Structure 1
Amino acid sequence: MAGATALATLGAGSALAEGKAAVYDGKPVKIGQGTAHTVVRTGADGAVSAIGVVFTESMLDGLPVAAPGTSPHFPYVLSMPTKGPKSVIDHVVIDWESVGHPPPQVYDVPHFDFHFYVVSREEVSKVRFNGPDDSAAPEQQPPAELMPAGYILPPGTAVPRMGVHAINPAAPEFQKQPFTATFIYGYYKKRLTFVEPMASLEFLKSKPSFSAPVPRPAKYSKSGAYPSRYRVSYDDAKKVYEVMLEELR
Structure 2
Amino acid sequence: MLQSIGSVAFGGIALSGTTTAAPGNGKGSNSGKSNSGNGRGGGFPPKGITEWGDSIEIGNGEISTFSSVTPSGKPKAVGVHFADGTFDALPYAEDFESGDATGMKIHGGFWSKPFNLDFPENTPEPISYAGCGWNPGGHTPRGVYDKPHFDLHYHFYEPDPVSQIAPGVIEDLPDEKIPDGYQLIEGGAIVPKMGAHLAPEDAPEFDDRNEASDWQETLIWGVADVDDDGEYENNYVEPMITLDYFENHLDGVEKQDIPQPDVYPKEGHYPTTYTVRDLGDGGYAVVMEGFEERSA
| TM-score bracket, shorter-length normalisation | 0.7 to 0.9
2:144 pairs, out of 93, 106, 128, with 106
- Out of 124, 133, 138, the residue aligned to residue 95 of structure 1 is 133
1:21/1:42 contact within 8 Å kept: no
The structure 1 segments of at least 4 consecutive aligned residues displaced by more than 4 Å after TM superposition are: none
**Cα distance per residue 1:129-153 (max 9 Å; x no partner):** 15xxx2xx33xx4321121122111
Gaps of 5+ in 2: 1-23, 26-31, 39-46, 99-103, 226-231
| TM-score, length basis structure 2 | 0.71
- Structure 1 unmatched runs, 5+: 1-7
Corresponding position: 1:27 with 2:75: no
Q: Which of 2, 14, 36 is equivalent to 1:15? A: 36
Contact 1:207 1:234 in 2 (8 A): no
Q: Distance in 2 between matches of 1:42 and 1:97?
A: 31
1:216 counterpart = 2:267: no
Higher relative contact order (CA 8 A, sep 6+): 2
Q: Percent identity?
A: 30
Task: Determine the C-alpha separation between the residues in 2 that align with 1:55 and 1:34.
Answer: 7
> Would you say 1:241 and 2:289 are equivalent positions?
no
Picking from 236, 241, 249, the partner of 1:199 is 241
The alignment status of 1:123 with 2:161, answered yes or no, reads: yes
Match of 1:145 in 2: 176
Q: Does 2:208 correspond to 1:169?
A: no
User: How big is the alpha-carbon RMSD for the aligned residues of Structure 1 and Structure 2?
Assistant: 2.7
Matched-pair contact (CA < 8 Å) for 2:186–2:197: no
Tell me which moved more, 156-165 or 46-55.
156-165
How much does 1:65 deviate?
2.4
AA paired with 2:285?
E
Q: For 2:269, what is the secondary structure of its paired residue?
A: coil
Q: Is the Cα contact below 8 Å between 1:22 and 1:43 reproduced in 2?
A: yes
Contact 1:142 1:191 in 2 (8 A): no
- Residue identity in the other structure for 2:233: R
Residue in structure 1 matched with residue 90 of structure 2 by the alignment: 63
Q: 1:5 — aligned with what? A: none
Deviation at 1:85, TM superposition (A): 5.0
Match for residue 41 of structure 2? none
Q: TM-score, normalised by structure 1?
A: 0.83
Q: Taking structure 1 as reference, are residues 142 and 221 closer, same or farther at Cα in structure 2, changes over 3 Å only? A: farther
Structure 2 CA distance for partners of 1:231 and 1:88, relative to 1, 3 Å:
same
What CA distance in whole angstroms lies between the structure 2 residues aligned with 1:29 and 1:192? 27
